[in-house]
Structure formats: structure tokens, C-alpha cells
Amino acid sequence: MKKGFGGMSIPNLLTICRILLTPLLVWLLLEKKLKAALVVFFIAGLTDGLDGLIARVFSQKTRLGAYLDPLADKLLLVSTFILLGIQDLIPHWLAVIAVSRDILIILGVSTLMIHHVPLEIRPSVLSKATTLFQLLTLFAVMGSWLFPLPSPAYSVLFVVTALLSVLSGIHYVHLGISLFETHRNRTDAP
């Protein structure tokens, strides 16, 4: 296995870079510097794509990466949705739905871990589609100065992103309950 600096894998280093880019993105959004924020968001998105590609191609998947990668995504997306919502660049209802979904997932994973429920973190197809539409929505809004879309296109993006967020949230709640019940039945068995 190829390692990066200090024995850490290159995908994990890229994920840590994405985590470190989040405060910069937050600051740029607070300062309403959408052009610079879009560049930082794009770079963060590249690190997300690269870390997954390198991990698969060079067999550098790690347990740490399985936890860090979704955490980095959640930090980046939640921060961006909150700030764009506060600045009225996206509808408040969309920000609430997107952020609530991620909080629900984090609480669910935490609950399963506290109860020692075996858990393998793998995003579902629905979750990947949700993340894709969340990213597209955020890119479209932050990049509206560069490539403005017709007003109905933003509405469609907002609605599809919200629907996918709700559906994937429901899916993860169902999955979490199933894992918990299966674990409880195994531990209660004589």
C-alpha cells in the first residue's frame, strides 16, 4: 500500500485537506465572496473525487477513511447549506431539509456505535444521488455569477435535491432500525 506523509494514505490526506478547506469556505461565504467560495468548493469537490478514485484504484481504502470521508462531506455540505440559506441564496426549507438529513445520519450512526452495533459505512445508491444533487445545487447557486440558469432550473434543482434528501434520510432511518433490531435479536438470543 502506498502511503503519504507520516505513513498516512494519500486518500486520507486528501480527505483531511477537504476538512481543512471547510473553514476557509465558511469564511468566504460569510464575507459574501461567492467567486472565491466557488473555487474553494470546487477544489474540495476535486479532493472528494480524487480520494475515492485513488483509494479504489490503488487499494488504499482504510477504516479511518471510511469514517473521515463522510464526515468531511457532511462538514462541507452542512456548512454550505446553512450559510447559503442564511444569506437567502437558497430557500430556507431546502437548507433545513439537507442539514436535518445529515444530522439524522450522524445521530443514527452515533447511536449504533454507542450500542456496539456492527456497522460498515457504505453510501447507498440513493445517498450518492442525493450527494450529487446537493453538490449540483450548491455549485449552481455559488456559480450563478458565472453561469446563470433560468429561474425554473433552480426550482427544479431545489425540489429534486429536497426529495432525494428526504428519501435517503428515510432509507437510512429504516436501515439503522433494521441493524439495531438484528443486533438486539442476536444479543438477546439464548
Lowest mean pLDDT of 61-70, 71-80, 102-111, 164-173, name the range.
61-70
CATH number at residue 40: 1.20.120.1760
Asked if residue 1 has pLDDT above 70, the reply is no
- 167-179 pLDDT, tens digit per residue, is 999 999 999 999 9
Can you give the pLDDT at residue 7?
52
Can you give the pLDDT at residue 190?
65
**Enclosing domain of residue 158:** 5-188
How many structural domains comprise the chain?
1
- Residue 2: pLDDT band (50, 70, 90) is very low
pTM: 0.88
Nearest to 47 by CA among 78, 5, 6, 16: 16
Can you give the pLDDT at residue 3?
47
